[in-house]
Structure 1
Amino acid sequence: MSRIEQYANPQVLDLVAYEPGKPIEETARELGLKPEDIVKLASNENPLGPSPKAIEAIRKIAGQVHIYPDGAAFRLRSAIADRYGVRFEETAVGSGSSEIIELVCHAFLNKDTEVVAARHAFSMYPIMAKLFGASYVEVPNKPDWTHDLQGFLHAITDKTRIVFITNPTNPIGTVVTQQEIDDFMVKVPDHVVVCFDEAYHEFCDSPADTLKYVREGRNVVVLRTFSKVYGLAGLRIGFGLAPQSICSLLHKTRTPFNAHIVAQEAALAALEDQEHIRRTVDNNRKEMKRYEQAFADMGLEWIPSQGNFVLVKVGEGRKVFQDMLRQGVITRAQDGYGLPEWIRITIGLPQENTKCLEVLRAVLGK
Structure 2
Amino acid sequence: MRWKDQVLSLKPYQPGKSIKSVKEEFGLEKIVKLASNENPLGCSKQVIEAIKTNPIPLEIYPDGYAGELRSSLAEKLGIRETQLIIGNGSDEIIEIISRSLLYPGVNTVMAAPTFSQYSHNAIIEGAEIREVPLVDGNHDLDGMLQCIDNKTTVVWICSPNNPTGTYIPNHDLIHFLEKVPSDVLVVIDEAYFEYVVADDFHDSVSIVNRFSNVIALRTFSKAYGLAGLRIGYGIADEAIIRALDPAREPFNANALGQFAAKIALQDQEFIATCREENRRGLEMFYRFCEKWDLPYYPSQGNFILVNFRQDANQVFQFMLERGFIVRSGAALGFPESVRITVGTKEQIEGIFNVSEAFLEKESQARV
Which band: TM-score by shorter chain?
Answer: over 0.9
**How far 1:58 moved relative to its partner?**
2.3
Q: Deviations over 1:102-142 (max 9, x none)?
A: 11111111111111010110010110000111111101122
Counterpart residue type for residue 277 of structure 1: I
**How far 1:63 moved relative to its partner?**
4.3
SS in 1 for 2:273: helix
**How far 1:217 moved relative to its partner?**
5.2
More displaced 10-residue stretch of structure 1: 189-198 or 24-33: 24-33
Counterpart residue type for residue 168 of structure 1: P
Q: How does 1:152-171 map to 2 (within 5 A)?
A: 152-171=144-163
- Determine the C-alpha separation between the residues in 1 that align with 2:178 and 2:130: 21
- Indicate yes or no: 2:206 matched with 1:212: yes
The answer as to whether partners of 1:116 and 1:156 remain within 8 angstroms in 2 is yes
- Indicate yes or no: 2:321 matched with 1:326: yes
**How far 1:57 moved relative to its partner?**
2.6
Could you tell me which residue of structure 2 aligns to residue 128 of structure 1?
121
Q: Deviations over 1:16-37 (max 9, x none)?
A: 2211121111111211122xx1
Of residues 8, 15, 33 in structure 1, which corresponds to 2:10?
15
The answer as to whether partners of 2:160 and 2:301 remain within 8 angstroms in 1 is yes
**How far 1:201 moved relative to its partner?**
1.1
Q: How does 1:269-348 map to 2 (within 5 A)?
A: 269-314=263-308, 315-348=310-343
- Determine the C-alpha separation between the residues in 2 that align with 1:204 and 1:232: 18
- Determine the C-alpha separation between the residues in 2 that align with 1:173 and 1:15: 26
SS in 2 for 1:62: coil
The answer as to whether partners of 2:37 and 2:341 remain within 8 angstroms in 1 is yes
- Indicate yes or no: 2:32 matched with 1:59: no
- Determine the C-alpha separation between the residues in 1 that align with 2:81 and 2:253: 16
- Indicate yes or no: 2:95 matched with 1:102: yes
| TM-score, with structure 2 as normaliser | 0.95
**How far 1:248 moved relative to its partner?**
1.2
- Determine the C-alpha separation between the residues in 2 that align with 1:245 and 1:256: 20
Summarize the Cα distance change of 1:63–1:125 in structure 2 as closer, same or farther, 3 Å threshold: closer
Counterpart residue type for residue 289 of structure 1: E
**How far 1:61 moved relative to its partner?**
3.9
SS in 2 for 1:139: strand
More displaced 10-residue stretch of structure 1: 182-191 or 341-350: 182-191
The answer as to whether partners of 2:6 and 2:126 remain within 8 angstroms in 1 is yes
- Indicate yes or no: 2:261 matched with 1:267: yes
- Determine the C-alpha separation between the residues in 1 that align with 2:182 and 2:269: 40
The answer as to whether partners of 2:31 and 2:324 remain within 8 angstroms in 1 is yes
Q: How does 1:221-260 map to 2 (within 5 A)?
A: 221-260=215-254
SS in 2 for 1:303: coil
Could you tell me which residue of structure 2 aligns to residue 184 of structure 1?
176
- Determine the C-alpha separation between the residues in 2 that align with 1:95 and 1:290: 34
SS in 2 for 1:137: strand
- Indicate yes or no: 2:36 matched with 1:43: yes
Q: Deviations over 1:300-355 (max 9, x none)?
A: 11111111000000111110001100000011001112211010000001111111
- Determine the C-alpha separation between the residues in 2 that align with 1:299 and 1:138: 30
Counterpart residue type for residue 189 of structure 1: P
- Determine the C-alpha separation between the residues in 2 that align with 1:338 and 1:285: 25
The answer as to whether partners of 2:56 and 2:255 remain within 8 angstroms in 1 is no
The answer as to whether partners of 2:98 and 2:122 remain within 8 angstroms in 1 is yes
SS in 1 for 2:55: helix
- Determine the C-alpha separation between the residues in 2 that align with 1:305 and 1:354: 19
Could you tell me which residue of structure 2 aligns to residue 151 of structure 1?
143
SS in 1 for 2:319: helix
The answer as to whether partners of 1:96 and 1:226 remain within 8 angstroms in 2 is yes
- Determine the C-alpha separation between the residues in 2 that align with 1:290 and 1:252: 46
- Determine the C-alpha separation between the residues in 1 that align with 2:131 and 2:264: 36
- Determine the C-alpha separation between the residues in 2 that align with 1:324 and 1:351: 16
- Determine the C-alpha separation between the residues in 1 that align with 2:56 and 2:77: 31
- Determine the C-alpha separation between the residues in 1 that align with 2:289 and 2:205: 36
- Determine the C-alpha separation between the residues in 2 that align with 1:17 and 1:344: 20
| Runs of 4+ with deviation above 6 angstroms | none
Counterpart residue type for residue 163 of structure 1: V
Q: Deviations over 1:177-198 (max 9, x none)?
A: 1111111111100221000000
SS in 1 for 2:63: coil
* Number of equivalenced pairs: 358
**How far 1:235 moved relative to its partner?**
0.6
Counterpart residue type for residue 332 of structure 2: Y
Counterpart residue type for residue 263 of structure 1: G
- Indicate yes or no: 2:111 matched with 1:118: yes
Counterpart residue type for residue 38 of structure 1: I
**How far 1:152 moved relative to its partner?**
1.0
